[in-house]
Amino acid sequence: MTMYLGIVSATVLVFNLPFGYWRAHAGKFSFQWFIAVHLPVLLAVSLRLLSGLGWQLATFPVLIGAYCIGQLVGGRIHGQWEKRGERPLTACLVCDLWKKLYPNGTRTH
């Protein structure tokens, strides 16, 4: 069980990074904010069921912690980039990261 719990919690944490980023971009308590907070819960529940973790009480603090840390870190990434005055930020972590890594596009000539 502990191996599955580690894999599932790491997946939940990583999956929540872009949702935390999106949440930080959306207006507080807006529809987008609500979706960014609650949609990843479906993934966490699905992973819990698919991995066979079940509903053991000991798994709740680990998965809730992974969820919260992912949301928090994703939001902090957005906040730090915004504070530094990075290019106009979107609500998409992947898009903004891509623009940061490839500021002139992906052309090699």
Return the pLDDT at 46: 94
Contacts of 60 (CB under 8 A, 6+ apart): none
Domain annotation covers residue 106: no
Instruction: Name the pTM for this structure.
Output: 0.88
Does residue 108 belong to any structural domain of this protein? no
Is residue 54 assigned to a domain?
yes
Q: What is the rounded distance in angstroms from the CA atom of residue 61 to the CA atom of residue 78?
A: 26
| Number of Cα atoms under 13 Å in the Cβ half of residue 81 | 21
Our count of domains for the chain comes to 1
Specify the higher pLDDT residue, 67 or 101: 67
Print the domain residue range for 83: 2-101
Tell me the mean pLDDT in the region 39-66. Answer: 93
User: In angstroms, how far is CA 54 from the centroid of its own chain?
Assistant: 23
Q: Within a domain: residue 109?
A: no
Tokens at 80, concatenated: 């730090």
Are 8 and 47 within 8 A, CB to CB? yes
Q: Distance (Å, rounded) from C-alpha 40 to C-alpha 24? A: 15
From 11-15, 24-28, 69-73, 104-108, the region with the lowest mean pLDDT:
104-108
